[in-house]
Structure 1
Amino acid sequence: MDKYSNTKEFFSKNSENYAKSQSHAKDRDLDILMEMLSPQAGMIGLDAATGSGFTAIRLAKKIGKVYALDMVDNMLLETAKLAEENGLHNVFPVKGYVDSMPFENEKFDIVTCRRAAHHFDDKDEFASEAFRVLKANGMIGIDDMTVPDSIINDLNEVERIRDHSHMYAASTDGWIRILSRAGFTGLKYKVYSRRVSFEQWLYPVEINSPEGKKSLEYFQNARDEFLSSIQWDGKSFQKSWVVITGVKEIQ
């Protein structure tokens, strides 16, 4: 059985909704990712698990070429559509998996992955593949949902209720361990948080769907430590993303 069958089903069904997501398109974490990577003209980039292509498009406006990798055909179609709408001809959608990338060694100056890694079954394999396809002194930039280690299991539990394709999100410390094991050095990170309503968090899942109802029930009965940490007030909470970068430093 394909371990990513749930992910393919979820995103094939919701590709158009994600393409309309203002949070994915314009949230501050995308600005932070670009600032930390400082992409330059002439570079070649890879956006892994590109989704609707928002990160790939932002990169393509700054560098020479961007390969947009995703395993879902509908998401690649949305990426191609977005590139066309922006008048960009340097974005190349590619179908493939993040844990077995269809690229030769040392091809890219930058590898990005934004708001997708919680769908990865094996983050260590992804990080190793990113290290492999990066040139010497190339940079990786990860941007994904996060909470502290003490409540990461709570977050993952409710995220799996909302979306069965959710594998697991990692804490900031977890990402430091993952990237360090892959060989990355010079790790730097920033955590971005903003308040989201329950409905905003749930999107594109319908509030009256079984997943929506079960998710709300989870929040209403969750551990005090979890609710206090995310500042749940019955209608909204603080959602956080970690943006972390590292370098493939070759001595």
Structure 2
Amino acid sequence: MREDTGGPGRHAAQGPTAPENDAHAGTRNKVARSILEHGPSTAADLAERLDLTAAAVRRHLDALLAEGVVEARQQRVYGHRGRGRPAKVFALTDTGRGSFHQEYDVLAADALHFLSEVAGEDAVMAFARTRVAALETKYLPVVESAPEGKRAEALAEALSADGYAANARQTPGGEQLCQHHCPVAHVAERFPQLCEAEAEVFARLLGTHVQRLATLAHGDGVCTTHVPKNVTGRNPA
């Protein structure tokens, strides 16, 4: 049976102060962590993942919205859209991401700094390329099976499934691949090799040189990659 952890329960008699709030803080943390791990999510998605009632999830989301940990967005719909308005999805804000990443970011940055000191900058780049190699292998069949002119969109959908909250949009000079979340943005502030290696993978997958126009790591609101027109296949010249 699902637990309704958002409503009045055994802690309610103790008043609205710290005991009740502390009891629900753990569940709110689980809600936020689920969004971190799975990307922007609907209340129904969260209820299913966490085995909570929809009402409980909505109450926790209301609290997280008030704290500035999450923000509400309209769900992007790819392909055929059914009747009715798109479902509302909830994504972590910079504040919300920062609360999770701070300790891990310090550890990762320290490890890369040590690697740089001991083995040099080339070793950091080699690490960055190794890290994203699995993504290239994973996304290659998805991108190659997409129709001509739809590969950036297919890549965006694959990235979104992995929590990057990505989309592709047409521009006069081609397309822009936008990522609204990056799990290593704080570390990439110090080690841009992580961004460079990812861009290399995008270029190979899309078969053309790409250009990074903005990154979360540099303080921009989104990672934006320009994909020129006439994407013809892999192995850009």
TM-score, normalised by the number of residues in structure 1: 0.29
Structure in which a larger fraction of residues adopt strand = 1
Structure in which a larger fraction of residues adopt helix = 2
* Larger relative contact order (CA 8 Å, sep ≥ 6): 1
